[in-house]
């Protein structure tokens, strides 16, 4: 591998890693506060892609601007899922672990419904969005990046930074952090944990949909595309640390760089395997992840 190829891989890895970080942040938020794993995460991303596609085809709306519609729309729809489907299980008085397992099955069922519903509406055809700038190459010192990928990366970074500011500066954001660290202590401090769980679930779903919108500038998509992104999201949050927002960004960058470098050094066919190799290595070496901490 030449030096130019190495730098090209670094740039490509950082760009995809930034988008991956946002993608996994939604899954990690929900796990951090509610201690549940949303198996429908990938399908929510897929639905975000198709809503963005519709907005582009019907109204000519740019995918970047579509984020301003898609994210709030999914944030408003998320409470329906939580209140109608998840809360009855959480409040059923089940033993520890039983509710979490049932929610795992529930969200798996939702993912199947979303995927097959998309198949009925949009068929199995691959779809993509091509804007006036998405395929324009930007070249500097022999390093080339498409304008679409760069735009998606920059917006992903802005959204991630906005979320971190929200966690650091607002009462609700601080309450979310407190609930992640110690739910019982947060309750004693007067935090409405039920409300915080609702807001967090909405944020997690909205972030997943926003990541899906941005990915339309990078990939072609189809109804079953969510499965691969769900598995990548799992790998990312294990790499960075489950329940830690910053861990999503670190894990996303780690995976993005690993995939890009492996494509240069080995072969593109190895790219899907790298995530699972990193997952196994991290579970063996540091199960809590790069930024994760052991719980008492």
Number of domains the chain contains: 1
DSSP the chain: --HHHHHHHHHHHHHHHHHHHHHHHHHHHHHHHH----TTHHHHHHHHHHHHHHHHHHH---HHHHHHHHHHHHHHHHHHHIIIIIHHHHTS-PPTTHHHHHHHHHHHHHHHHHHHHHHHHH-S--B----SSTT-EEEETTEEEEHHHHHHHHHHHHHHHHHHHHHHHSHHHHHHHHHHH-HHHHHHTT--HHHHHHHHHHHHHHHHHHHHHHHTTT--B-TTTHHHHHHHHHHHHHHH-TT-HHHHHHHHHHHHHHHHHHHHHT-GGGHHHHHHHHHHHHHHH-TT-SS-----
Evaluate whether residue 8 is within a structural domain: no
293 located within any domain: no
Q: What pLDDT digit, counting tens, does each position of 90-112 carry?
A: 888 888 788 999 999 999 999 99
Q: Which residue has the tokens 């198996």?
A: 39
**pLDDT value for 174:** 94
User: Greater confidence, 81 or 184?
Assistant: 81
pLDDT surpasses 80 at 295: no
* pLDDT tens digits, 24-45: 999 999 998 988 899 999 999 9
Q: What is the mean pLDDT of residues 191-201?
A: 93
Q: Which of 6, 129, 119 is nearest to 56 (CA)?
A: 129
Query: Is the distance from CB of 121 to CB of 47 less than 8 angstroms?
Result: no
Structural domain includes residue 269 = yes
56-69 pLDDT, tens digit per residue, is: 999 999 999 999 99
26 inside domain: yes
Nearest to 67 by CA among 56, 52, 87, 80: 52
Question: How many beta carbons lie within 10 A of that of residue 101, not counting itself?
Answer: 12
Residue 5 lies in a domain: no
Structural domain boundaries, residue 133: 14-285
**Largest Cα–Cα distance of the chain, in whole Å?**
62
Predicted local distance difference test score (pLDDT) of residue 296: 41
Does residue 187 lie in a domain region?
A: yes
The answer to whether residue 107 sits within a structural domain is yes
Three-point CA angle 55, 83, 95, nearest 5°: 135
Q: How confident is the model at residue 293 (pLDDT cuts 50, 70, 90)?
A: low
Q: Residue 62: inside a domain, yes or no?
A: yes
Is the pLDDT at 262 greater than 60, yes or no?
Answer: yes
What does the alpha-carbon distance between residue 69 and residue 51 come to, in Å, rounded to a whole number? 9
């Amino acid at each position: 591998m030449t030096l130019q190829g190495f730098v090209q891989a670094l740039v490509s890895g950082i760009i995809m890693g930034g988008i991956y970080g946002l993608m996994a942040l939604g899954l990690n938020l929900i796990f951090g506060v509610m201690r549940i794993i949303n198996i429908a995460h990938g399908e929510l991303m897929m639905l975000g892609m198709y809503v963005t596609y519709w907005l582009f085809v019907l109204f000519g709306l740019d995918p970047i601007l579509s984020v301003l519609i898609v994210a709030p729309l999914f944030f408003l729809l998320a409470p329906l899922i939580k209140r109608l489907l998840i809360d009855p299980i959480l409040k059923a008085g089940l033993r520890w672990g039983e509710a979490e397992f049932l929610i795992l099955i529930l969200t798996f069922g939702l993912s199947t419904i979303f995927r097959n519903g998309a198949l009925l509406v949009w068929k199995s055809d691959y779809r993509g969005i091509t804007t006036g700038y998405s395929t324009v190459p930007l070249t500097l010192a022999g390093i080339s990046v498409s304008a679409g990928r760069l735009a998606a990366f920059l917006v992903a970074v802005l959204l991630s930074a906005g979320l971190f500011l929200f966690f650091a500066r607002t009462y609700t954001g601080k309450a979310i952090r407190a609930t992640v660290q110690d739910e019982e202590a947060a309750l004693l401090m007067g935090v409405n944990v039920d409300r915080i769980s609702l807001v967090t679930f909405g944020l997690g779903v909205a972030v997943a949909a926003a990541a899906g919108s941005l990915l339309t500038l990078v990939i072609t998509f189809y109804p079953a595309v969510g499965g691969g992104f769900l598995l990548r999201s799992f790998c990312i949050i294990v790499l960075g640390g489950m329940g830690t927002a910053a861990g999503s960004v670190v894990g996303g960058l780690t995976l993005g760089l690993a995939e890009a470098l492996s494509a240069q050094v080995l072969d593109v066919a190895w790219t899907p395997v790298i995530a699972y190799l990193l997952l196994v290595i991290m579970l063996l070496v540091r199960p809590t992840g790069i930024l994760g901490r052991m719980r008492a």
